[in-house]
Amino acid sequence: MKITSKKTSVTLSLMGIILLVGFDQLCKYLAVLHLQDAEDVTLIKGVLTLHYLENFGAAFGSFQGATIGFLILTVAFLGLLSYIVWKIPMERKYLALRLVTMVFAAGAIGNFVDRLAHRYVIDFIYFCLIDFPVFNVADIYVTCSCIVFIFLFLFYYKDQDFDFLKKQREDKVK
């Protein structure tokens, strides 16, 4: 059963991405405004702290100093993701997959904007209970969307549900 036109779906996805990236950037702006060169803010003692950090690496501080590489990799990955989203059939069963890709894209774009604007990513959330690396809202988008995608892939979708990715290629070969 089709849920809406492809054009409407893409438009709604872009609007969702813009809203999510906007929220991420607002949070980072507030972090710079209130946390840069300031004391940490404890939200839950021994559990959650706001701590300003300029991350010149990738997720959770890994691969420090590879900004140009991350920019190129992000553009390539977003291009691939756009292709996949375009290929997803307009059926209700793929709505979750569309939402997951939208949230993932928003996270990638949120950190991409930081790298373009500052050459680093602004991180400010520190889960000190387990001494987890400092992260940001865009990181939450990427991490949660990956977890949901894995869950969908393992428990919701079947292998043949992804045949849409190879269908056109087979048509061209014939």
Q: Of 60, 52, 59, nearest to 122 (Cα)?
A: 52
Q: With cut-offs at 50, 70 and 90, classify the pLDDT of residue 161.
A: confident
Task: Report, in angstroms and rounded to the nearest whole number, the Rg of the chain calculated over CA atoms.
Answer: 18
Determine which one of 114, 123, 163, 171 is catalytic.
Answer: 123
Distance CA 1, CA 94 (A): 10
Q: With cut-offs at 50, 70 and 90, classify the pLDDT of residue 156.
A: very high
Tokens of 95: 């709505």
Tokens of 50: 């706001």
Determine which one of 139, 159, 161, 171 is catalytic.
Answer: 139
Q: What is the pLDDT of residues 61-103, one digit of tens each?
A: 555 556 677 788 889 989 988 988 888 888 999 999 999 999 9
Instruction: Name the 3-class secondary structure at 53.
Output: strand
Q: What is the pLDDT of residues 25-67, one digit of tens each?
A: 999 999 999 999 999 999 999 999 999 999 987 655 555 556 6
Would you tell me how many other CB atoms lie within 10 Å of the CB of residue 36?
12
* Strand 41-44 with 48-55, pairing: antiparallel
Instruction: Name the 3-class secondary structure at 124.
Output: strand
Distance CA 166, CA 174 (A): 13
123 is known as an active-site residue: yes
pLDDT of residue 76: 92
Instruction: Name the 3-class secondary structure at 163.
Output: coil
174, 61 Cβ separation under 8 angstroms: no
Whether the predicted pLDDT of 18 surpasses 70: yes
Domain segments of the chain as ranges: 6-173
Report the alpha-carbon angle 79-83-85, nearest 5: 115
139 is known as an active-site residue: yes
Read off the DSSP letter of residue 89: -
